[in-house]
Amino acid sequence: MISDSADARKNLRTLAQRRGSLCCSAAKEEDSVYRLYYDFTQPISRLQGHQILAINRGEKEGFLKPSLALDRQEALALLEKDVIRPGSRSEAFLRAAIADGYDRLLEPSMENEIRAALTESACEGAIANFALNLKPLLMQPPAKGKVTMGLDPGYRMGCKVAVVDPTGKVLDTAVVYPTQGERKRSEAMDQLEKLIRRHGVEHIAIGNGTASRETEQMTAELLKRCPGVSYMVVSEAGASVYSASPLAAEEFPQFDVNLRSAVSIARRLQDPLAELVKIDPKAIGVGQYQHDMPLKRLDESLDAVVEDCVNAVGVDLNTASPSLLRRVAGLNATTAKNIVAYREENGAYSSRKQVLKVPKLGPKAYEQCAGFLRVPESKNVLDRTGVHPESYSAAEMLLTLCGYGLEDVAAGRISELPQRVKFLGEENAAKRCGVGVPTLQDIVKELLRPGRDPRDSLPKPIFRTDLLELKDLKPGMVLTGTVRNVIDFGAFVDIGVHQDGLVHISQIADRYVRHPSEVVSVGDDVKVLVLEVDEKKKRISLSMKQVPHES
């Protein structure tokens, strides 16, 4: 009866959360990544999400033995308080029953309950963190309009090479072997130089996986022969997943799996969003313990982020892949494929309304998706903007009221539009155009920059022409790096030495920070001070708060 009492369980749960601790010991005496938790005790109220998830995984892999620590006498006193009347004939019997109920039933059950609640909370935090990191990664500024070479490094199978034109079309492929002796390395450099000169390559994207270090060293040396060309190391997380997928096989039936990966790496630099939407968001690698998350909940959260990003940027109807189109609100896998099939059969779209001719795409779906679709080739300049077709008449009325026409929008002659709207009065202008003030403000933004990409206003990615090595790093050096991942206890920053450095949360700002995401996001360029370099363990400790201020 004691064990089944809802009030008893509630009181005990409150006590455990307030006064209990989670303890951890080693399940087997051998070195592992979980050694931090071999002798670990932390009050439940102060446990961090990443600690809970690490302990869960360590237990699952057989390295850790976690347990809930709660003062037994305090717990028994709490249970006895409402049941026992001191001096009664049943006192001894009830004390024994309460002790038995606690030891045999309540304590193990309470431990399971508390740990399940901690895990659920940690998972929600990790999923939110994953979504937080995914958005800036997808919204990284594209390196548009450049012929790009993608290098997928490797040892035994060589370095796979793909050259793509500014639209992502594959121009050439090759395999070179820069890690298999000096002669092969020289041949690789000669072959890459020929490809660079033949196709006018301006950017090189290097995957950051196996053999990336050697490939980057070769590239830095090669660029001395090729002035004007720069390189960037990009995350290749998920590239192998994509290259082995049915989608990649359908897109590049003529290439083997390895060459598809090189194409993906090149396109990631050109347009991160368009390429990364082809990959399962879980495989992109920004977050922590994603494989331990509830899959359905994680998928829902990440899919919502991807859809938000695609809708914020907009999609070019004449170049978008089915993978990108299916992320647009109102479209699905079938209608996305039909849009591309119609384009291949009938040529480029010349207006938004043409989408209504696509099979299985009805008026309702068109109403939802139209505002996110762009047609740069359309004669109607509004088709190149985020203005929804339902608001075309309002946009035209606004232009007329302000003394402009659609031809002025196309020619970029409406820089004074905001001032003229202000002169008219936003509420008055909105009323005369038949829309609300927020819609009017959105229309003005879109008209000022038809075809604008919100990512263009973000800081451009850092390209390199030379490189540092781990042994070159010295404490006190100030470097510029790119944030690769933001987690609960800090941020990992790529400073160009293949091994990302960690800026611990205590080193992110000279003020209290609850979570690193308050200060940095994935893709941010930051200045960091090197605090410590451990070559043996390949660990780099960095600081953002100790960077000297420029005078």
- Domain spans of the chain? 6-137, 148-293, 302-456, 470-543
Task: Report the topology of domain 302-456.
Answer: DNA polymerase; domain 1 (1.10.150)
For the chain, percent of residues with pLDDT exceeding 90: 48
Rama region for 450: left / alpha / beta (φ>0; ψ in -120 to 50; rest): beta
CA distance 200 to 172: 12
Strands 373-374 and 315-316: parallel
Q: Under a CB-based contact definition with an 8 Å cutoff, are residues 132 and 486 in contact?
A: yes
The CATH code of domain 148-293 reads: 3.30.420.140
Dump pLDDT digits (tens) for 155-214. Answer: 888 999 999 998 888 999 999 999 888 999 999 999 999 999 999 999 999 988 788 878
- AA letter at 363: P
Residues whose CB falls within 8 Å of the CB of residue 66, separated by 6 or more in sequence, listed in order: 22, 23, 24, 55, 59, 115
Token digits of residue 61: 């892999």
Which residue stretches of 139-207 are H helix?
A: 182-199
Task: Encode pLDDT of 442-468 as tens digits.
Answer: 999 999 988 777 777 666 666 666 656
Burial (0-12, 13-18, 19+ Cβ within 10 Å), 377: middle
* pLDDT level of residue 396 (50, 70, 90 thresholds): very high
- Which among 18, 205, 17 is positioned nearest to 111, based on CA atoms? 17
C-alpha pair distances (Å), 476 with each of 325, 423, 483, 529: 48, 55, 19, 6
How far apart (Å, rounded) are the C-alpha atoms in residues 470 and 496?
9
Classify domain 6-137 by CATH number.
1.10.3500.10
If you average pLDDT over every residue of the chain, what do you get?
88
Place 551 in a pLDDT band, splitting at 50, 70 and 90. very low
As a CATH number, domain 470-543 is: 2.40.50.140
State the average pLDDT over residues 409-413: 88
Model pLDDT for residues 169-181, shown as the tens digit of each residue: 899 999 999 988 8
Looking at residue 436, its pLDDT comes to: 93
DSSP string across 498-517: SSPEEEEGGGS-SS--SSGG
Q: Where are the alpha helices (DSSP H) in 223-291?
A: 239-243, 246-251, 257-270, 272-276
State pTM to two decimals: 0.75
